[in-house]
């Protein structure tokens, strides 16, 4: 065995994977070549040193509990929308992208399914917007709620919402995500815009409604502690079961609630750099 052949076998020798004649030849060469012996001893000591100092850390019990809770709170089926978006986002080939965008354009042209008739509020219970926004998010993920428009173009979304809301709609740029579509919903007869963003396989849903109506509290509401934060001009956030979180803020007459399957600190981080792509006046 020469030095080059010895060198090729140092790592398996350190991991005790040499046997028989190969091991004998390895040992014989090490005995007569101090340089090779030193190289072997060096790698051996590194492996030993790492193994002695960095042992396996048990999985923290709270993390295991969180994993179990997350799994049990997940829906049973892969949401059709999520699956589609993830496969869409996961393929960066420009041809596929162009085809997909083209298909979206065709779909968008005839896809306005549920325009809300103006001025027809009915009598409803007071809707808690945190609960409503989470239910809507779940409905979008599991396919119960369909996007009424599918587009990545903010100006097309902007056009879609014109004259459908009684508050200015904000379509912000959110770091790592881009709009993929929207729908117009209502809670207690109050228009509520849902703008859906996607990126890195995660869906972020941005709900917007009239801040004044929420403050009034007769049709829409928020928990008092959240209202306090918002009235002070702050941003309210909370982590929900199942690994989801909500972030709430106001901008003029508009209340925005972002919901996503990620811890609130991450969602806050991604929202920290929002800037308006488009603002649609009522």
Footprint of another protein (CB under 8 A): 3, 10-12, 14-15, 17, 34-36, 38-39, 41-43, 45-47, 49-51, 53-60, 63-64, 66-74, 76, 78-79, 82, 176, 200-201, 241-243, 261-263, 266
Residue 22 Ramachandran class (φ > 0 left, ψ -120 to 50 alpha, else beta): alpha
Virtual torsion, Cα 189, 173, 87, 70, nearest 10 deg: -70
Shorter beta-carbon distance to another protein: residue 39 or 101: 39
Contact 134, 261 (CB under 8 A): no
Shorter beta-carbon distance to another protein: residue 189 or 199: 199
Closest contact distance (angstroms) between CB of 11 and another protein is 4
Closest contact distance (angstroms) between CB of 79 and another protein is 8
Nearest 5 degrees, angle CA 17-CA 19-CA 24? 125
Rounded CA separation 275/271 (Å): 9
Closest contact distance (angstroms) between CB of 30 and another protein is 12
Q: Helix, strand or coil for residue 61? A: helix
Shorter beta-carbon distance to another protein: residue 3 or 276: 3
Closest contact distance (angstroms) between CB of 93 and another protein is 18
Tell me the two tokens of residue 260. Answer: 């996503």
Angle between helices 3-14 and 20-32 (to 10 degrees): 120
Shorter beta-carbon distance to another protein: residue 229 or 268: 268
Pairing of strands 254-260, 275-280: unpaired
Closest contact distance (angstroms) between CB of 34 and another protein is 7
Shorter beta-carbon distance to another protein: residue 36 or 230: 36
């Amino acid at each position: 065995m020469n030095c080059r052949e010895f060198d090729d076998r140092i790592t398996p020798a350190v991991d005790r994977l040499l046997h028989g004649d190969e091991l004998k030849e390895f040992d014989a060469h090490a005995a007569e070549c101090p340089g090779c012996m030193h190289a072997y001893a060096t790698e051996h000591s590194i492996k030993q040193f790492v193994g002695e100092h960095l042992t396996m850390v048990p999985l923290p019990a709270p993390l295991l509990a969180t994993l179990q809770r997350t799994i049990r709170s997940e829906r049973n089926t892969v949401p059709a929308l999520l699956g589609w978006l993830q496969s869409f986002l996961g393929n960066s080939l420009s041809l596929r992208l162009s085809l997909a965008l083209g298909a979206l354009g065709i779909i968008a042209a005839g896809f306005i399914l549920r325009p809300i008739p103006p001025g027809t509020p009915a009598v409803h219970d007071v809707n808690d917007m945190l609960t409503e926004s989470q239910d809507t998010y779940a409905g979008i993920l599991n396919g119960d709620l369909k996007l009424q428009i599918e587009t990545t173009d903010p100006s097309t979304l902007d056009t879609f919402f014109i004259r459908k809301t009684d508050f200015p709609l904000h379509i912000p740029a959110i770091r790592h995500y881009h709009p993929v579509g929207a729908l117009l919903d209502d809670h207690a007869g109050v228009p509520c815009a849902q703008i859906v963003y996607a990126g890195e396989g995660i869906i972020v849903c941005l709900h917007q409604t009239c801040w004044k109506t929420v403050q009034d509290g007769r049709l829409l509401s928020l928990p008092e502690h959240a209202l306090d934060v918002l009235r002070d001009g702050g941003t309210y956030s909370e982590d929900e079961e199942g690994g989801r979180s909500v972030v709430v803020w106001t901008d003029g007459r508009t209340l925005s609630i972002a919901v996503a399957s990620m811890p609130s600190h991450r969602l806050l981080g991604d929202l920290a750099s929002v800037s308006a792509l488009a603002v649609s006046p009522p």
